[in-house]
Amino acid sequence: MPVPRLLVVHHTPSPAVRALLEAVVAGVRLPDVREVGDLALDVEPALSATASDVLAADAVVLLTPANIGYMSGALKHCFDTIYYPCLDATRGLPYGLAVHGNDDTAGAIRSVEKVAGALGWAPAAPVLSTIGNPEPAVLATAQELGATLALAALERGERRAR
Ligand SMILES: Cc1cc2nc3c(=O)[nH]c(=O)nc-3n(C[C@H](O)[C@H](O)[C@H](O)COP(=O)(O)O)c2cc1C
């Protein structure tokens, strides 16, 4: 029986975004999550994530900077690559989203929600939107995002196994 799998797809261009990524991963590895069951974690740069990575996932965390009022070109490239292979096959996939910007992340959030909605993915946590250097409270929220999506992956993986 395959181990449930959480995929983190990220575009990480700076230390601030890297700190968010590390917090998400730390959330996945929290003892509370480990107690629930075994989970495989794939952390993939958006420029190299493939349809196979997404098809194998039981939940996904997306992490992107806001760029010119949109998701990063890297995450857009990922969606362009996986869209048709994953359409239908990944309907209902739980996902979480974290967006980092320097003043306005609204367009970037909208752009991701639009594609994820078209794929039929299900938001499993509130969107984490943040600007500037991530404060401890923001990193704690990123950690929570990782933990929530890890639990969603475990739940979906368990349902798949039944
Ligand atoms: C070409 C470009 C466009 C950007 N557009 C936006 C934007 O529309 N909204 C926003 O909040 N930040 C924007 N940013 C800022 C990035 O989101 C930010 O640099 C990134 O999240 C990394 O954060 P840091 O520079 O504070 O480390 C843009 C940055 C670049 C390079």
**What digits encode the pLDDT tens for the residues 3-23?**
999 999 999 999 999 999 999
Q: What is the pLDDT of residues 25-40, one digit of tens each?
A: 999 999 999 999 999 9
Q: What is the pLDDT of residues 79-137, one digit of tens each?
A: 999 999 999 999 999 999 999 999 999 999 999 999 999 999 999 999 999 999 999 99
Q: How far is the CA of 87 from the centre of ligand 1 (A)?
A: 29
Residue 40 has a CB neighbour count (10 Å cut-off) of 15
Residue 132 has a CB neighbour count (10 Å cut-off) of 11
Residue 92 has a CB neighbour count (10 Å cut-off) of 9
CA 145, chain centre distance (Å): 9
Task: Determine what percent of the chain is predicted with pLDDT higher than 90.
Answer: 96
Q: How far is the CA of 150 from the centre of ligand 1 (A)?
A: 28
**Does the pLDDT at position 47 exceed 90?**
yes
The answer, yes or no, to whether any atom of ligand 1 lies below 6 A from the CB of 17, is yes
Q: Which atom of ligand 1 is nearest to the CA of 70?
A: 8
Q: What is the pTM of this model?
A: 0.98
Residue of higher predicted confidence among 1 and 150: 150
Residue 56 has a pLDDT of: 97
Q: What is the arithmetic mean of pLDDT over 59-87?
A: 98
Query: Residues with Cβ < 8 Å from 142, sequence gap 6 or more?
Result: 20, 23, 24, 27, 98, 128, 134
Res. 1 pLDDT band, cuts 50 70 90: confident
Residue 162 has a pLDDT of: 81
Domains in the chain with CATH codes: 5-161 (3.40.50.360)
The answer, yes or no, to whether any atom of ligand 1 lies below 6 A from the CB of 101, is yes
Q: What is the pLDDT of residues 140-159, one digit of tens each?
A: 999 999 999 999 999 999 88
Q: How far is the CA of 72 from the centre of ligand 1 (A)?
A: 9
